[in-house]
Structure 1
Amino acid sequence: MKVLIVDDEAHARTNLRFALQSLPGWEVAGECASAPAARAFLDSSDADIILLDVQMPVESGLEFARSLSSREDPPLIIFVTAHRGHALEAFDVHALDYIVKPVDEGRLQQALARAGQLCDQRAAYARALRGFVNPIPGYWTELAVRSVGRIDRVKLSDVLWIESAGNYVELHLPQRTLLHRCTMSELERHLDPAHFVRIHRRILVRCGQIVAFRQANDGGHTLTLACGAELPVSERFSAAVKASLSRGLIRPS
């Protein structure tokens, strides 16, 4: 596997080079002191993975990572930085990992092992990166979901319901549940309201899954889904859900 080291500090590049030399199966393809130099390198050479600093003069690592979306087959990105505060931004540009300096060799080896498992999915990674940087106008129809060692393309028409989990959402599918790095409010903005309805501050349901709307024993309400799941409908959303059902505004997707 070929690794490109991009860091404006010479000693940081040296430390990473020595660390990589002790790991079998990894080759340092090149070293660059800036994002423009790294871009020029990639124009004439190839790298599977970039070990990328965040704060660099002229162009930050985050800006450089976003610019890679224009490439047909961009390298996978692992940020290596002294700054802890950019982790969320790093994952927003589909970085695979975020390592804080000083670099622990075991931690670096773990990150590279995960990246190595994903190298055969660089095409899916490229689609995910382009989708974030240059989203297609209109409602989303699929998501690129990263997990350890893989990237899954999930069709939203296969999702039964979505549940908030902090800065993530749980995508409930017929055979499994996937955790996706996105807040509920951010995701909802991109969902077709004819296909998904909010029933709780933490839950969105695909309309085609709704089988029954019932009053629970405690006076609240529940939705029964075709998959058999029963989900709570909060008082805040119950009137709107009931009205939409009665008027036929919620319809199978």
Structure 2
Amino acid sequence: MRIAICDDEKRICAILAEKVGKICPGAEIMTYASGEELLGADVLPDILLLDIKMPGLSGMDVAKTLRDRDWRKILIFITGEEDQVFNSFDFHAFHFLVKPVADEKLKEVLENAVKDLKRSGAESGKHDKYIEIQSGTSHIRVNLSLLLYAEVYDRKTILHMKNESIEYYGQLSVLENLVGKDFYRIHRSYLVNMKYVERYDRTSVTLTGGDNIPISRREYDGFLKAYLEYSRRRIDS
């Protein structure tokens, strides 16, 4: 298990590293003095303690870049200003620690993070969920963790994956029943993976990569409820 601490104050990095090492003996502890240094690392951590307010790239900038790289492990923000917490909900942080970080709180949050990591299988590489479709004469195994959204167009369903698009003849309602509760049908023609939602309003949802998907007026309240439940599952599961 790798635990990284990113804070521009080297003294705080050293103090946290020592405390984390005692709480999680056996873990590999890495420290970074800037967001740029962290993003340039060869290996990313399983758990990241990330300062929000840093010169250069802020913690928010770093978190967004990590999400764009599909890093979906455990993020714990550290902040000296409590109101910063409300500006960072979109990043699905596991928890927020306010400076000066109390030893008991750090221990509680880290122990829960380790439990969550083991439960989700993130450290060891949990098997992703797949479905099988037929496209033309080909049978294709689709990794749902890589599916951003699906749309219906000209009687075909198009699966917009992270690196490709797959077309097949099939009903979106059938796909909706297969993919599970991490997806939501925001429009009769669109089914989105909430994992990749970057922002939303009453008229559209913007996904990782920039695709902007319309949301029907009657589905907004249902989507909002489902998205909040999804966010809660990520924190409490």
TM-score (norm 2): 0.53
Q: Residues of 1 paired with 2:55 and 2:34: CA distance?
A: 7
For 1:63, the aligned partner's letter is D
8 Å CA contact 1:4–1:29 kept in 2: the answer is yes
Count residues with an aligned counterpart: 154
Pick the structure with greater CA Rg. 1
Q: Residues of 2 paired with 1:46 and 1:55: CA distance?
A: 20
Shift of 1:35: 0.4
Shift of 1:21: 2.2
Shift of 1:187: 6.0
1:186 corresponds to which residue? 201
Shift of 1:84: 1.2
Once the two structures are superposed, what CA deviation does each residue of 1:93-125 show, in whole Å capped at 9, x if it has no partner?
A: 11111100111121112222232233236589x
1:156 corresponds to which residue? 184
Structure 2 residue runs without a partner (length 5+): 127-147, 152-179, 186-198, 206-213, 224-237
Does residue 85 in structure 1 map to residue 83 in structure 2?
yes
Once the two structures are superposed, what CA deviation does each residue of 1:23-46 show, in whole Å capped at 9, x if it has no partner?
A: 1446243111000100112xx124
Alignment of 1:222-241 (within 5 A): none
3-state SS in 2 of match to 1:18 = helix
Q: Residues of 1 paired with 2:46 and 2:107: CA distance?
A: 15
Shift of 1:153: 4.1
CA RMSD, Structure 1 to Structure 2 (Å): 3.8
Once the two structures are superposed, what CA deviation does each residue of 1:142-164 show, in whole Å capped at 9, x if it has no partner?
A: xxxxxxxxxx943436xxxxxxx
Q: Residues of 1 paired with 2:96 and 2:56: CA distance?
A: 21
Bigger relative CO (Cα 8 Å, ≥ 6 apart): 2
Alignment of 1:65-144 (within 5 A): 65-119=63-117, 120=120, 122=122
8 Å CA contact 2:50–2:78 kept in 1: the answer is yes
Shift of 1:137: 9.7
8 Å CA contact 1:20–1:28 kept in 2: the answer is no
Q: Residues of 2 paired with 1:116 and 1:48: CA distance?
A: 9
Structure 1 residue runs without a partner (length 5+): 125-134, 139-151, 158-182, 199-203, 207-253
Structure 2 CA distance for partners of 1:153 and 1:88, relative to 1, 3 Å: farther
Structure 2 CA distance for partners of 1:5 and 1:205, relative to 1, 3 Å: closer
